[in-house]
Amino acid sequence: MAYLFDEGEIRGIGSLLTALKADRIKLRRLLQPRPRFVTKVWFRGLSNIRYKQVPTFHREGYKIEDEIYLMNLFKQNSHELLSQIPDNEWEWMFLMRHHELPSRLLDWTENPLVGLYFAVRPREEESESKPAKDGVLWCLLPTRLNRLALGWPDDDYSLPMFTHNEAEFTRGENDILNLYLPSQMKGLSRRATRPPAAAIAKRANRRMQAQAAVFTIHHMNKDPLENSGGGIHVWRYRIPAQSKKSIYANLRRIGITERTLFPSLDNVAKEAIEVLGGL
């Protein structure tokens, strides 16, 4: 599969920043006379370069009817545990994702170092008998993806928002994004499927803020996001397995850790123990 740029290789934080600078120059040349377009780049790190960008919902074989049923069950039993009840379908979808229910959403970040962290952090399944695999950092041009998915205008560099509130977005094309809601997809033919789309969401919790979280969402199509539109919206960097440990250590040194990306008392305690063990 061909992507926007040839695959690069990242062996450290410095080499990532150098590669991003070089690719930004290439983007300016490629996308002239619209240089503002290059300011929108999102990142997604995966521990294994062989993993495809398919959301858990599709990877595990769920149907839209299953999604609606899961949402109803979640609503049935979650109200007494919530201090604030979601007031629309998007907010329920994000709350469900936050609590690990299968989702058509894919997490991205606006911070390349956060994306790099997810590509290199140690995995529980790794061991001497199952060593780490080469990781990957994907780069996405979300507005170019939305030209495929939403018919986003060529002269518009904004992004839609996952919301029903008309005061929170300014373009009518945001209505097209609502076609990705479970309630709008129920009963649709597979022939009515749409490409993945990109949008921003309220960063309603500390984790989303810490991770500079942004999202893509799949429709009924189970194809990997990187295959949409012939790959003209994405490129990737390979992270060799032997470089992961040193990159991970250096990211921790500059404050990108489990505690800062997943703020919780459990991770505060875990990091305290790790710091003491390292003295």
| Average pLDDT, rounded, for the chain | 88
Q: What is the mean pLDDT of residues 217-228?
A: 93
Task: Kindly state the tokens that stand for 170.
Answer: 């300014």
pLDDT, residue 39, reads 62
Give tens-digit pLDDT for 71-100: 999 999 999 999 889 888 999 999 999 888
The pLDDT confidence band at residue 154, using thresholds 50, 70 and 90, is low
Give tens-digit pLDDT for 240-278: 999 999 999 999 999 999 999 998 888 899 888 877 765
Phi/psi class of residue 125: alpha, beta or left (left: φ > 0; alpha: ψ in -120 to 50)? Answer: alpha
More confident residue, 181 or 40: 181
Return the closest-CA partner of residue 59 out of 175, 185, 169, 223.
223
